[in-house]
A and B are shown apart, each in its own frame.
Chain A
Amino acid sequence: MKRKYGFVAVMLSAILVVGLGLTALYTKQEKAGEERGLKVVTSFFPMYIIAENIIGDSSQVSLENLSEPQTGCLHDYQLTPADMKLLSEADVFVVNGGGIESFLADVAASYPGLQIVNACEGMELLCEEEEDDHGHAHGDEGNAHAWMSVSRYMQLVDTVAGGLASADEANAKLYLENAASYRQRLLPLEEELKELKESVEGKTVVSFHEAYAYVAEDLGLEVAYTLDLDEERQISAGEVADVLGVIEEGARVVIAEELYGKEMGDTILGETDAQVIYLDTLVRGSYEKDSYLNGMEKNIRLLREAFTQ
């Protein structure tokens, strides 16, 4: 009888010690290498890459991204306790804006001291092509995937650099210099796009993600049909028929996203002789400085191949 209570006490304290011990070990590893200084948090991948290039190697500034790299596009993203913790320690929060960060209003209300840099501020975004009848929550501000256009991406870089410079005046010069040199490296991409534009302008394409509207804008392409495929979208048979109809009318190239558009792309390949290319929407990837450059270069190569064939 008494032994039972003893057993329970021993068991619970063992679980307590092991559980807390492992947790302490885990958090200790996390904390290593933490430094003080300006703390910049970005909302998702493209913003992180921009901030990374602007901040450069500065050791006084720490940069962290909110969502895991796998999260990708932020629609319907919910902040986790770790995100809240991160934001409560941050000085500057760099967001894309345009309604992609649906949680932004909550964040602004909870942390009034947090400086928010809105990259799309002052930019006129494209409107969503079709009536948004499937309730995809992009806010009311239209299509916010502006980073998909290289020239707009450069504007984003400038806006973020300006925002960071005014938030941290001590390093303002460094930020603006870094932004300028990053722009220099983006210029060849813009040139390439202009070159490609001359040969493809006016052609019609079908797009499987509204982000490609900006690619089409850069190249002067006409998007005949947008089927917004992403995380949780289930398509109906009627929509598939619509897409096939548009392709028969003359759209030779279908731009899709590998992760969510693959099955649909295969269907198109089987049913028609149109080209299907999988472009990176650049919302996930490795946290290297050149991720955007490399990803965009690959996209342009794929586009060129598809149109020259």
Chain B
Amino acid sequence: MNEIIESVKNLSIGFNSQKGKQISILKNVSTNIKKGETVGIVGESGSGKSTLALAMMGYIKQGLFPLKGECLFKSEDLLKMSSRQLEKIRGRKIAMIPQNAGQALTPNLKIGYQIDEALRLHTDLKKTERDKKISELLNKVRLPSPETMAFRYPHELSGGQQQRVAVAMALAGKPDLLLLDEPTTGLDVTTQAHVLELLRFIAKDTGTSMIYVSHDLGAIAQVSDRIVVMYAGEIVLEGPARKILKEPIHPYTYGLLKSIPKLSLAGLPDSMPGSQPQPGSINEGCSFYDRCNLATDNCKKNSPDLEHIKELDTNVRCFNYKELINQNNNLQTSITKKSNNSEANEVLKLKDVSISYAKQKFFDQLLNKISDQNPTVKDINIDIKKGETIALVGESGSGKSTILKSIAGLLKTKDGQIKFENDRILSSDLKMRNPNDLRAIQLIFQNPDESLNPNHTVEQILSQPLKLYFNLSGEELKKNIIDLLKKVRLGEFYMSRYPRQLSGGEKQRVAVARAFAAKPDIILCDEVTSALDVSVQAAVLNLLQQLKEDLGTTYVFVSHDLAVVRAISDRVAVLYQGRLCEIGPSQNVYKFPSHPYTEVLLGAVLEPDPDIKPKLVAEDIVEEKPPEKGCSFQGRCPRKIGDICNSEVPPWQIGENGNAIRCHINIEELASLQQ
């Protein structure tokens, strides 16, 4: 058990800047991987975790080069090997499971061929034996009908299936060490939980060592024996998983854990100020100095070494860690948010809304009608009160973003009405809406990199809505822009910056400011935090909440992340395949009884706690189309009761605590089943 498989010694990797300076993105990293052990490497984007993982396979990305140190695999330095030698190790001794299997599988080659390739390279099996092995492997990763699966192309598989194929491919060479680079990021919650479960099973079954790289402490907590926390290219904390997650003794890890929204905890998570420094920007002192609340003058001038603490079996890079040892245990707190002072009047009503993506036939186009018996989104009835935050939750394909686009007028509805303020019907055609309605409903997009024009300065970006809706110009315009920036806590000097000069969190703040520039009544938030790091996510969530309390804005918040939704929303609507399953006040939706789909979703959430295991109650199959009749969740429901689920649309039942559930099972019975 204590045999060391791979050991990284004093590794630094860097690049040459345009000014000819050497800038390192990995600084003096040392760690050991033992046989049979799963090590989680965690850090936010830019912390150097992927660079470290790839270096452990002897692979350095183009533009980077090793500055010093070595990666010893069974006492041979991978970084000094020829590519011929590396070909013998990669896939055979160390195998990789990539982040995005959809892009990591070669599109023109069949699944079977790609697994066969690994087998041919790394085993001496004959053709017939290999064929058998392929179906064995596909079976092992629990893919349905392995024989036919081998003849399919990567794009014909769902995201979860592609990830499974990547796992099968990595297992083909029977490696001693598996490297997993964010293997579940980008998958739906239920799929993610299933893939993690599979990985844990494989680790136990084959005794392979694993290095699991992720930004997601929830996923890391489920699989790791040991955790390495990286910050700005350095290891800042390393130790047994349970200790790291429950009693973190580094201020960064502590802050990171505090900034993760948790299911068990209502209210907003604590945010950490600032963001990770750019590589090369810190020359002296601790790299976490400017975000740390334990920092002293000593930290500014001297950088701490990685110190080994014997009694905790932990390495920590901090001068003041002892303060944290004493004050621990208050990880379970969160900022309580003001419960909404929602006035009774509704600001937006969705009445029987259906939306279809079906192509219009020629005659229907002429008559300007949409005939689709089974539209993507159907029968949505939601009344949104002024000043509340309502969240639409569901996995990909649940229609949540589609509904948002329809409210914004970007997509025409098929049936039903969207009513705004005093029951006035909003036209489903954007061009027919009056300018004031357009101003009143604003959208914030998921990815600020794509929603901000890269050729405009922040000033130009923010001045557009101000000019368009309020005809401002000159001094007044400038004053308003500065006000807006202040509201999202950015300084005046940001005005002349371009989006590429901002960090991810700053960009999203600019996007928030742009939405608020229109003084809107309703803001539609489309997965606004999913492209952000956790510490930044917490800050953006806090900002949104603060702005709402100050200005009384109504949010329609779309997210796939149940914990985030729990933190920010007053009311939650759960969607499956474009149909509502459950709707109610958020504190009640997260309690039983719930709709079987909500139950499945809640069970699959990963918490950054090794003691809370996800409950997998339904298969993670992907349905391409909603069923023609009956309950929308009939295909995957773990509590299906019979034919009635296939033939009849379930009725709405309203529980004692005010949440409405659409299910054939009686609500009291559901409650007792779920106890």
- Does A associate with B in a complex? no
- A-contacting residues of B (Cβ < 8 Å)? none
